[in-house]
Amino acid sequence: MNIPVDLFRGNRERLRKKLLRNSLVLVQANDVLPTNADGTLRLHPNSDLFYLTGIEQEETILLMAPDAFDEKQRQILFLREPVPDLRIWEGEKVSKEEATRRSGIQTVKWLSEFPTVFHQLMCEAEHVYLNSNEHKRAVIEVETRDARFVAACQKRYPLHQYHRLARLMHELRVVKSEPEIALLQQACRISRKAFLRVLRFVKPGVNEAEVEAEYAHEYIRNHCRFAFSPIIAAGANACALHYLKNDQTCRKGDLLLMDVAAAYRNYNADLTRTIPVGGRFTRRQRQVYQAVLRVLRAVSRAAVPGILHRDWQKAAEAHMQEELLRLGLLKPSDVRKQNPDKPALKKYFMHGVGHPLGLDVHDVGFLHEPFQPGWVLTVEPGIYIPEESMGVRLENMILITKDGNVDLSADVPLEADEIEDRMG
């Protein structure tokens, strides 16, 4: 699926409308991170740069100066020059012509020209928008490429008025356009194909690593990657929310929790399913499974325009409390005596019920604002019972619309009977 260039043109235009007059915007690629010795990790594209340009290459820089005197300098893309030695060691790099075709930006220059052009535009600009990672859950222990540039820029040009680009990008990116929704749907379709493959594969004796390999096979052959480090957790492992070892044997009688999804063209799906390793749920496993499924259905219906994430979470916890009482995991006295700041249900359901999804798995956006049409959210209730070596989590993706929401994962098997039938 090719991404239409109008997506990136439209994204830049929406950003332009939010800028103050005489502004300059700079967005750049992420660092290529080191491992050990002379090793490096594969580049992870900068989501904001990709959102505005469709370009994923290292060291790329986007400059936007909508009020620049020279019209050709109002949008400029800077790239590494594909010199012969670079081709030999790293392969082909994006050409100027290819960059224009992908991004719709007509002015493309090599990085060697950046210092001169940037100084010219800074002399014209009054307001400067620079980027940073402002996700509330981000843990930043190493100085980033963005942070280094902010420090250098403010040192050289101390009298400009500086602004946080991240706040504008969060507003823009949380509302998905039709092309973005189509890309998320494709990621979801490929996630479904992989899950169906796994349903045919899982049986007692297989290793969690072998299950992960089945997902990898389906994703890679469909030009995808894992959207996040996969969680393949059998038995008691499912009670560790971010279990990543994926190296234990799946045994008869276990439930297998799989939080695994595909990323397609940098747009991430998110999907969790819990299945019986032996192909059939026990009576107790089915009770817990159905309880989680009822919460998922109820909370999905509650995700409508105008609701606050905080209130949505409270509704999920109210539904979950009833299910935990029904399962006998909580007693009425536990609820009566609970500390309101530490509700009793948190023993078995201790995480958020969902988050925005898009170019990042935990996508940017302001969760203190009401849900709006165009938001894509996960819905992921779970019940974790260490004393029974059991964890059940179910997760679908929903699109908020003015008339309610659309389940983007609706065709991924979810009912217990269908899962058993397909495993059989």
282-314 residue pLDDT tens? 999 999 999 999 999 999 999 999 999 999 999
Mean of the per-residue pLDDT values of the chain? 97
Residue the block writes with tokens 């938001």: 375
β-pairing, 225-226 with 61-64? unpaired
In one-letter notation, the amino acid at residue 100 is T
Can you name the CATH fold of 5-173? Creatine Amidinohydrolase; Chain A, domain 1 (3.40.350)
Dist. CA 284–CA 119, nearest whole Å? 68
Q: How many helices (H) and strands (E) in the chain?
A: 13, 17
Predicted confidence (pLDDT) at residue 181 exceeds the cutoff of 80: yes
Helix, coil or strand: residue 331: coil
Residue 342 phi, psi (nearest 5): -135, 70
- Report pLDDT digits (tens) over 129-175: 999 999 999 999 999 999 999 999 999 999 999 999 999 999 999 99
Predicted confidence (pLDDT) at residue 86 exceeds the cutoff of 90: no
Helix, coil or strand: residue 24: strand
pLDDT > 90: what percent of the chain?
96
Mean pLDDT (whole number) for 385-400: 98
User: Does the CA dihedral 51-57-58-60 come out positive or negative?
Assistant: negative
Cβ atoms of 408 and 401 within 8 Å: the answer is: no
Cβ atoms of 236 and 276 within 8 Å: the answer is: no
Dist. CA 227–CA 216, nearest whole Å? 11
Which CATH number does 178-423 carry? 3.90.230.10
Give the domain ranges of the chain.
5-173, 178-423
Dist. CA 137–CA 141, nearest whole Å? 13
